[in-house]
Amino acid sequence: MRSVFKRAGTLLSACVLALYCAAPLFSQTDEAGPDSATADSFYDEGILLMEDDQGITVVETPETTQKKKLVTREEIARVQAPDLATLLQETLNLGVTRYGAYGNQTDINMRGFDSERVAFLINGVPANSPMAGEFEISQIDLNAIDRIEVIYGGSDSKYNVTGALGGVINIITIKDQKPGLSLGGGVTNTSALPGGYYEKNNQRGDPHWEDMADAQKVTLSGAYGAETFSVTGNIFANRAGNHFIYKDVIFNKIRRKTNNEVWDLGGSASFIWNLPDLSKLILSADGYYGDKNIPTGGYSEIKGKQKDFSTRQNIMLDMPRAFRDDLATEASLSHTWKTLTYEPPTDASSLHDEHIITAINRWSWYPLSWLALKGGGDYRYSGLDSTDMNWRDQHDGGLYLTFEIKPVEQFLIVPSIKAIFNSNGASQVVPMPKLGFAWFATEYLTIRNNYFRSFKNPDFEDLYWPAQTDVAGNPDLKPEDGWGVDLGAAYQYKIFSLDTTLFAQYTSDSIHWAPGSDGTWRPSNVGEAAFFGLDGKISVAIPLPKGPFIKIIPSLTYQYMLSYMLSYGYDFSSEKRIPYMPDHTVGFSLDLLWKTGSFLISGHFESERYTDTANITVLDSHFLLNANINQKIGDNLTAFAVFRNLLNASYQSLSEYPMPGITMTLGMRFNIEPKQEKPGE
C-alpha cells in the first residue's frame, strides 16, 4: 500500500510538471467572451469578480455573517516580519506561543484555541498535518504571499473545513500578474543586542559582537504576465543564529542563547492559464528545507538536530461561469509530501514521512436575486510512514450544503450543514450545523450573529504513539466536540471604523496528555472547557491635506477572554484558566504615511498566563514595542529598518523558553515592474 501511495504522489507531481511545460503550447486561446460577471470564486477566495470598462477588478464580498480580517501584500511588505506568527501578531494582534526564536515550534492562539485547533489553508486547501494537527508556520515564505484571510471562530461557512474551533487562516499565494516582466527581491540583516553574560559554569563571558550579524535573509521573485497566461516564482534562503542575551529566571543570571541555529530555504511557483468565460487553470507548487538545532529545554545546553522537508503541488480549475451565467464551480487536486527527521541528544533518531492527497469541489448557484445555494465536498487520504508509529493511514472528508437567503435587502440568513467522516476513531458520519444572520441596519452599520458546532478528530500521534517508557497513544480516543455563538457589530463612517464581537464557546472531549498512575503520559478525552470573550478594533484614518504627510492611522485592538477549565474535577466556581491563554490582550499602532514611505509604531500586551492546569505557575505579563520605517529610493528601491522589543523586555511566551530582547533588522528590497500605459496613450 505504501509503495502504491507514493507512486500516486509521484504521478501527481509529474502531472503538475507536465502541465507547467505544456501550458504555453495551449495558451493561444480565444479571449474571454462575456461582457460582465459577478460570481463567487475559489481562486479569488470568495470575493467578487467584476468587469467594467477598465477590465477585471477584484473586490471583497461586503455581505457576510462571519468576522473576517484581511492582511494585504502592502502590509506584509511594510511590516517585514521574519515569519507568519510575527506578522499575524503585529497586524491582527493574535496571541503567539513560541518555543524560541525563528524556526522553532510556534503556535497561533485564536479565541482560546492553539494551532492544532485553528484550520490553516493554502489557497483554500487544508494544510494542517494529520500526524500532530499543527501547521509549520516557519515553512511559509512571506515574500510569496499575496494576502491572508482570517475568519474568526468556528462559524466558517465559506470553506467548510473541519477542525476550525478557533478560526480559519487562509494563506493566498496566487494572483494574476500585470502584463510584462516583473522582478523583485531583497536582503536583510537582523542584529541582536550584544552584552556581557555568564556561562553555565558561572564564568563571565565577554560580548559577542558577531551577534550584530545574527541572521540574514535573501529573497528573489519574478513574474511574467501575458494576455492568456501568467507565471510567478519566488525563492528565499535564511540563516538565523538565534543568539541573544536573556535573563535566566531560575538562577537570576544573564545568559547567552546558543545551540538553536537554523538554516532554511524554499521556493514556490505558480502558473495561471486564462480560459474562456473568465475560467482559469491554476497550477502551483512550493518546497521547503530546514536544518535546525533544537534545544531540549529552555535553559539547557543540550540540543537535538531536526531536518524538515516539505513540498506541495496543486491543480485548480476555477469556473465563475460553469455552463451558465448563474452557476460557478471550483475544483482542486493537491499532493503534499513532508518528512521530519529528528536526532535527539541520546536516543535513536526518528523519521516521519507523510503523504497527503486532497480533492475539493465547490459549487455556487444563484437561481434568484435573493437566494444562493453553495455546496460541495472534500476528500483527503493521509499516509504516515514513521519509525515510531509504523505505517498509518486514514480517509476523511465530507459534504456540505449552504443557503444564502436575503428575504429583504437589509437581512442575510445563512444556514449550513456539513456531514463529515473519518476512517479512524469514531468513523460514523457526524453532522456539523451552522446558522448565521446579518442585519445591514444602515449604510454604515452591520450586525452579525452566528451559531455553530465545532469538531476535530484525533491526530495520528494521539491515537498511535507507541507505548514507551514515559509516553503512549490512545486508540480509543473520541473526537473533540463543541458548540459556540458570537454576536458582532461593524461600523464604518468616513474615516472612522469599529468592529467588535462578543463570543462564547463550549468544548467537550478535548484531548489532553497527562501522566497516569504509572507515570506514563497518555492522551485522553478529559478536556472540558468554556470560553467567554470580547474582541474589537477601533481605527481612524485621518487625511493630512497639507504638509509632507498623506495620512495618519491610529488604531487600538483589544481582546478580553475568560477561559474556564472544567476538567479534573473543576467547575466554574474553581476559576481555573486554560494554560497559556491570557485574560487581556491589547494591541495598538500608529501608522504615518507619506508619498514615498511610512513609519509604523506598534505595541502588543498580554496579561499573565498560567502554565499548568492547576494554575500554580504563572508567566508574567509582557509588553512588546516595535517600530519600523520604509522609505522608497527612486522608482525601484525601498530601504527599511525594523526595531522589535524596543524596551528590551525580558519575557517568555512558553515556560523556560526565553525570547530575544531588542533586535534591529536593516534591509533593502527592489521591485521592477513594466510601465503601464495610461488610458488614451
Q: What is the pLDDT of residues 9-63, one digit of tens each?
A: 444 444 433 333 333 333 333 333 333 333 344 334 444 443 333 333 333 344 6
The counts of H helices and E strands in the chain are: 4, 40
SS3 of 610, please?
strand
Enter the C-alpha cell of residue 230. 501568467
Adjacency order of strands within the sheet including 167-172: 68-72, 147-152, 167-172, 118-122, 125-126
- pLDDT at residue 58 in the model: 32
H-state helical runs in 80-143: 84-92
Long-range contacts of range 31-39, CB-CB < 8 Å, 24 or more positions apart? 31/227, 31/228, 32/274, 32/275, 32/276, 32/277, 32/278, 32/279, 33/276, 33/277, 34/277, 34/278, 34/321, 34/325, 37/278, 37/320, 37/321, 39/278, 39/320, 39/321, 39/328, 39/364, 39/366
Q: Map out the domains of the chain with their CATH numbers.
A: 2-302+309-422+434-672 (2.40.170.20)
Question: Can you list the residues of the chain whose pLDDT is less than 70?
Answer: 1-63, 297-300, 425-427, 469, 676-681
Q: Contact, 40 vs 402, CB < 8 A? A: no
Q: Where are the beta strands (DSSP E) in 471-548?
A: 480-493, 496-515, 521-540, 542-543
| Calpha distance 125→143 (Å, rounded) | 19
Question: Could you tell me which residues come within 8 angstroms of residue 369 by beta carbon, excluding any fewer than 6 positions away?
Answer: 406
For 142-185, what is each residue's pLDDT tens digit? 999 999 999 998 877 788 888 888 999 999 998 878 889 999 99
In order of 93, 330, 568, the CA distances from 506 in angstroms are 23, 34, 16
What does the block give as the cell for 243?
Answer: 543568539
Q: In this predicted structure, what is the pLDDT of residue 299?
A: 66
Of the candidates 310, 308, 311, 264, the residue with the CA atom closest to the CA atom of residue 284: 311
DSSP state of 213: G
Query: Which pTM does this prediction carry?
Result: 0.89
| Pairing, β 657-658 against β 584-594 | unpaired
In this structure, what DSSP letter does residue 620 have? P
pLDDT of residue 34: 30
End-to-end CA separation in angstroms for the chain: 62
pLDDT confidence of residue 620 = 93
All 3 cell numbers of residue 400?
456540505
Given this model, what pLDDT does residue 20 score?
Answer: 34
Q: What is the pLDDT of residue 675?
A: 74
Count how many Cα atoms sit within 13 Å of the Cα of residue 132 in the half-sphere of its side chain: 13
Grid coordinates representing 324 are 451558465
**pLDDT at 493 (0 to 100):** 94
The three grid cell numbers given for residue 125, joined into one nine-digit string: 486547501
